[in-house]
């Protein structure tokens, strides 16, 4: 499988490039190199603080005639400080300007968490807006407007649980087509996968390599013995095994790299196939472990807890 098909038959390449924590001075080279070697899907977000550099790289790739705009699938995300119907179009305008694009292929609500205007990362309770004040259904109306104006081809969400999805569905004219969530062999999200299938939504796996930020070495995904053994047997790298497992479950992956060799290695996952036996062994690794635990949304007396964000 190389692409996920949307309801209107548009196809999103199943493997894309992540750009979170790609420093502005590195991301230009990473995106341009990625496009040169064949990446056609770039995952961005206003919150990553590097959309201008990503835009410069996309612009350069188009100028060099490596690709046309239509060859690329570009995703971006509405930051938490722009929840609320009236704030979506202005936020999209900034993202499109930074990316030097006149449309996005996919626009997602980044988190089911709302912040006061201008807040990058919250420090105190008053930096947040409770969802009772700015309901997700209200922000979703703004997302639908982006679609109706033709500035976005598809709309979706990120980090949404079953309840968040259900709430949006109560008023949605255009249903979300994507939920981007953390997924890898240690966090397989089986229930959420079934719910998204029920709503005819695709999933994209973020942190598909385990994000590599967890200090607990016993939980380093790419050092897992099962993954390493399969990698050796199939002449793959551990990263390729982790990516192939998720892809073979019908889920898109967006591994981040700013390293040329690893960019190529990740893309070459598409040339490999795990066996049913490999898939069964990898299925057994699920431990519901989140590398991105959402605890950064918890402050004293604040309206959000990680528990409420993840669980229904």
Ligand X SMILES: NC(=O)c1ccc[n+]([C@@H]2O[C@H](COP(=O)([O-])OP(=O)(O)OC[C@H]3O[C@@H](n4cnc5c(N)ncnc54)[C@H](OP(=O)(O)O)[C@@H]3O)[C@@H](O)[C@H]2O)c1
The set of catalytic residues is 48
Helix 136-148 with 162-171: angle, nearest 10 deg? 60
SS3 71: helix
The encoded tokens of residue 262 equal 């690893």
194/212 with CB nearer ligand X: 212
Among 258, 267, 282, 285, binds ligand X (CB under 6 A): 258
Give me the least distance between CB of 205 and ligand X, in Å please: 8
Q: With binding defined as CB under 6 A, does residue 208 bind ligand X? A: yes
Judged by CB under 6 A, the residue of 180, 188, 224, 248 near ligand X is 180
Encoded tokens for 159: 């980090």
Q: State CA 197 to chain mean position distance.
A: 17
Selected from 119, 226, 229, 265, the binder of ligand X by CB under 6 A is 265
For residue 47 the two structure tokens come to 């919150």
Letters for 44-83 (x = contact with ligand X by CB under 6 A, - = none) are ----------------------------------------
Q: Does 19 bind ligand X (CB under 6 A)?
A: yes
Residues numbered 82 to 141 that lie near ligand X (CB under 6 A) are 110
> Stretches 4-12, 16-24, 115-123, 129-137: which one binds ligand X (CB under 6 A)?
16-24
DSSP H helical ranges for 107-259: 136-148, 162-171, 190-198, 225-234, 238-248
Cβ closest to ligand X, residue 33 vs residue 237: 237
Report the distance separating Cα 63 and Cα 17, nearest Å.
Answer: 20
3-state helix, strand, coil in the chain (%, to 5): 45, 15, 40
Question: Which residues make Cβ contacts (< 8 Å) with residue 305, sequence separation at least 6?
Answer: 297, 298
Which residues, other chains included, contact 112 with Cβ-Cβ below 8 Å and sequence gap of 6+? 131, 136, 157, 159, 160, 161, 164, 309
Range in contact with ligand X (rule: CB under 6 A) among 131-139, 227-235, 253-261, 280-288: 253-261
Give least dist CB 311 to ligand X, A. 17
Please list the residues that pair with 243 across neighbouring strands.
none
Q: Does 259 sit near ligand X (CB under 6 A)?
A: yes
Judged by CB under 6 A, which stretch of 125-133, 256-264, 282-290, 301-309 contacts ligand X? 256-264
The nearer residue to ligand X, 119 or 265, going by C-beta atoms, is: 265
CA distance 186 to 285: 6
Binds ligand X (CB under 6 A): choice among 257, 285, 297, 304: 257
Q: Residues 84, 156, 176, 210: which binds ligand X (CB under 6 A)? A: 210
> Which positions lie near ligand X, rule CB under 6 A?
18-21, 43, 110, 158-159, 180, 206-212, 222, 237, 239, 254-259, 262, 265-266, 292
């Amino acid at each position: 499988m190389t692409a996920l098909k949307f309801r209107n038959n548009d196809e999103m390449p199943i493997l894309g490039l992540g750009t979170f924590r790609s420093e502005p001075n590195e991301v230009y080279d990473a995106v341009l190199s990625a496009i040169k070697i064949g990446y056609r899907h770039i995952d961005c977000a206003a919150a990553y603080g590097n959309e201008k550099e990503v835009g410069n790289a996309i612009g350069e790739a188009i100028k060099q005639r490596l690709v046309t705009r239509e060859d690329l699938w570009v995703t971006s995300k509405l930051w938490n400080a722009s929840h609320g119907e009236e704030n979506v179009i202005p936020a999209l305008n900034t993202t499109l300007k930074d990316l030097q694009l006149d449309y996005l292929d996919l626009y997602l609500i980044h988190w089911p968490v709302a912040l006061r205007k201008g807040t990058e990362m919250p420090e105190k309770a008053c930096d947040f807006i409770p969802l009772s004040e700015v309901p997700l259904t209200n922000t979703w109306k703004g997302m639908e407007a982006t679609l109706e104006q033709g500035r976005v081809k598809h709309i979706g969400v990120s980090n949404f649980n079953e309840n968040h999805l259900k709430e949006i569905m109560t008023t949605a004219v255009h249903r979300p087509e994507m939920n981007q969530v953390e997924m890898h062999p240690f966090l397989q999200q089986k229930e959420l996968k079934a719910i998204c299938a029920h709503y005819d939504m695709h999933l994209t796996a973020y942190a598909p390599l385990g994000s590599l930020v967890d200090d607990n070495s016993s939980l380093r995904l790419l050092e897992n013995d099962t993954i390493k053994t399969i990698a050796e047997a199939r002449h793959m790298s551990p990263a390729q095994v982790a990516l192939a497992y998720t892809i073979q479950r019908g889920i898109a992956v967006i591994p981040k790299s700013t390293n040329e060799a690893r960019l190529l290695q990740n893309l070459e996952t598409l040339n490999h196939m795990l066996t049913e036996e490999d898939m069964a062994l990898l299925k057994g690794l699920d431990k519901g472990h989140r590398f991105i635990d959402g605890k950064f949304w918890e402050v004293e007396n604040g309206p959000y807890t990680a528990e409420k964000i993840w669980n229904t």
